[in-house]
Amino acid sequence: MPFNSTSREHSEGFIRLSLAAPFLQYLTERKINPQPALDQVGLKAELLTNPSVFVHSELVYGLVNAFSEVSGDRYLGLNVGETFDLQEWPPFAQALRTTKTLLEFFTRFVGLVPQESNSVRHSLIIEADKATYRIERQQEPTVPPIQVTGFGAAIYVRLLQTVVGDSWDSSRVRWKSRYINGLPVDYKGIEVGLGADPGMQISFPVEWLFLRHVSEVSANPTASPRQDEEVTVVAALRSVLRDKLDETDLRPEVVAGLLGIQQERLLKALQQQGTTLPREIKRLRVDVAKEHLRDDKMTIAEIGLMLGYSDKSHFTRFFRGQTGMTPTKFRLGA
């Protein structure tokens, strides 16, 4: 009996960049300079704190692997996962808060994780004697997700330990992944095995699914400001281009570089979504223009300049051509 998250038809490989923020915080708290790693992949530290920014998953794999190198910690992902506050990850917090058993948690969780990433597919497989929570990578990675795998191992082992409490028996738990070098072979006494695929899975006794869990989150957590949007190439484009609409060079190869992928992969993903790069840039310019016209804090000329139009009349013609009304008329009617 499997419970699944995303379908393979929408596996473009994008991920919320803020998922790498705990790694940055971990290094900062230990006075380790993360800048060489950030420079290596061409990212600014402040981007990691913005939950609306999406990049390709392999950019994140490379970044956290680089964090491991600059810190000299081969098990960085594991150590970050063991100190990570689960309240900072909305899918975990929401699933724990609204369920009572591990079975309920996992079935709720697989419906929430697509908001964070479409690079993996989560599933719970229930058999007569065991249950397996599996995380499948939708594409064969060219950058090995070593530290991400270690992070995942720590998170899911923590979850199981919390749920089963005094019934915990590490000898009945098995972790499998191709990237087992992200954790020690004797990690917490569980059996660590080499898997054939690039994902990861953890198996445990099926009866644990029906134990009541003890939530690690507070009873009345503050609401998350995060937008629950589907992670697609379009969402990723909008996140990285929003503050770059005044730049003259937004060719496919430039935009692909911002997302951390090759130009061909970007164009193919857009084609699968039934759209093009020029169309999405145009839509984004219109949406950003409408936001600022409603806000009434910037003049129409300033909004046009922010969107790449040095002349107010050019911006007016563009906006009227897309919406059927001038910016002035839209502002008055907003």
Q: Which whole number is the average pLDDT over 287-305?
A: 90
Q: Which pTM was predicted?
A: 0.70
* Strand ranges inside 60-190, DSSP E: 120-126, 130-137, 174-177
Residues 6+ away with beta carbon under 8 Å from 81: 150, 151, 152, 153, 154, 155, 158
Whether 216 has a pLDDT exceeding 60, the answer reads no
Confirm if 240 and 54 have CB atoms less than 8 A apart.
yes
Q: Which whole number is the average pLDDT over 307-311?
A: 90
How is domain 2-210 classified at the CATH fold level? H-NOX domain (3.90.1520)
pLDDT recorded at residue 1 = 45
Q: Is the dihedral of CA 45, 47, 48, 50 positive or negative?
A: positive
Which of 1.10.287.1080, 3.40.228.10, 1.10.10.60, 3.30.1370.60 is the CATH number of 233-333?
1.10.10.60
pLDDT in tens, 313-325: 999 999 989 888 9
pLDDT recorded at residue 224 = 42
pLDDT in tens, 237-252: 888 888 889 988 899 9
Specify which residues 204 forms β-bridges with: 131
Q: Do domains 2-210 and 233-333 have the same CATH topology?
A: no
By CB atoms closer than 10 A (0-12, 13-18, 19+), residue 245 is: middle
Whether 76 has a pLDDT exceeding 80, the answer reads yes
Q: Where are the domains of the chain?
A: 2-210, 233-333
Residues 6+ away with beta carbon under 8 Å from 72: none
Distance of alpha carbon 215 from alpha carbon 92, whole angstroms: 10
Distance of alpha carbon 79 from alpha carbon 62, whole angstroms: 18
* Closest listed residue to residue 235, CA positions, set 108, 101, 52, 105: 52
* Strand ranges inside the chain, DSSP E: 2-4, 14-16, 54-56, 120-126, 130-137, 174-177, 191-194, 200-205
C-alpha distances in angstroms, 35 versus 39, 43, 62?
6, 9, 14
Confirm if 143 and 62 have CB atoms less than 8 A apart.
yes
Q: Which whole number is the average pLDDT over 207-229?
A: 58
pLDDT in tens, 144-181: 999 999 999 998 898 888 778 888 999 999 999 999 99
pLDDT in tens, 82-113: 998 877 778 888 888 888 888 998 888 888 87
The mean pLDDT value of the chain amounts to: 85
C-alpha distances in angstroms, 174 versus 102, 178, 286, 328?
17, 14, 51, 63
Distance of alpha carbon 239 from alpha carbon 83, whole angstroms: 28
C-alpha distances in angstroms, 188 versus 97, 166, 172, 295, 324?
26, 15, 12, 53, 63
